[in-house]
């Protein structure tokens, strides 16, 4: 599935018209869309859902922004667990969100670049992952 996996922070910037990151994320999304499909996974869907009262409204926003839902492969879920364990063994904080590791693993296992503005944990967990950073 050619395209770019989009992180929650970027989708939220777009949907909330974030005053600091909104324009930057919209530009990065436009550039990514020119190169391929804009993908979100189940974790991103769940994280973005907190800003919506009804599932129909969320689905309409996702469709309107031309995002496609890409299911997370089991191999990515397994890899995410191992990456999180390695992170914890290196002294990573217990409160670090597991979703970051799942989204990064999804991109890594699927051979997709990840569009994000929060790369720290993903970079250390998946050093070969191609990141597209919102600037």
Average pLDDT in the chain: 94
Q: How confident is the model at residue 101 (pLDDT cuts 50, 70, 90)?
A: very high
**Exposed e or buried b for every residue in 78-112, given b needs 16+ CB within 10 A?**
ebbeebbeebeeeeeeeeeeebbbbbbbbbbbbeb
Residue ranges per structural domain of the chain: 3-133
How confident is the model over 74-97, as pLDDT tens digits?
Answer: 999 999 999 999 999 999 877 767
What is residue 96's predicted lDDT score, i.e. its pLDDT?
64
Residues contacting 129, CB < 8 A, separation 6+: 104, 107, 108, 113, 114, 122, 123
Q: How confident is the model at residue 120 (pLDDT cuts 50, 70, 90)?
A: confident
CA gap 26, 24 in Å, rounded: 6
Partners of residue 37 on adjacent β-strands: 3
CATH topology of domain 3-133: Rossmann fold (3.40.50)
């Amino acid at each position: 599935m050619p395209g770019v996996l989009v992180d929650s922070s970027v989708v939220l910037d777009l949907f909330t018209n974030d005053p600091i990151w909104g324009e930057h994320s919209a530009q990065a999304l436009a550039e990514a869309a020119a190169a391929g499909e804009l993908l979100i996974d189940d974790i991103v869907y769940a994280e973005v859902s907190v800003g919506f009262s009804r599932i129909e409204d969320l689905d309409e926003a996702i469709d309107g922004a031309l995002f496609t839902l890409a299911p997370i492969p089991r191999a990515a879920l397994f890899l995410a667990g191992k990456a999180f364990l390695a992170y914890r063994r290196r002294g990573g904080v217990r409160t670090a969100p597991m979703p970051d590791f799942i989204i990064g693993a999804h991109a890594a296992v699927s051979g997709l670049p990840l569009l994000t503005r929060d790369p720290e944990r993903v970079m250390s967990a998946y050093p070969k992952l191609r990141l597209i950073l919102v600037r």
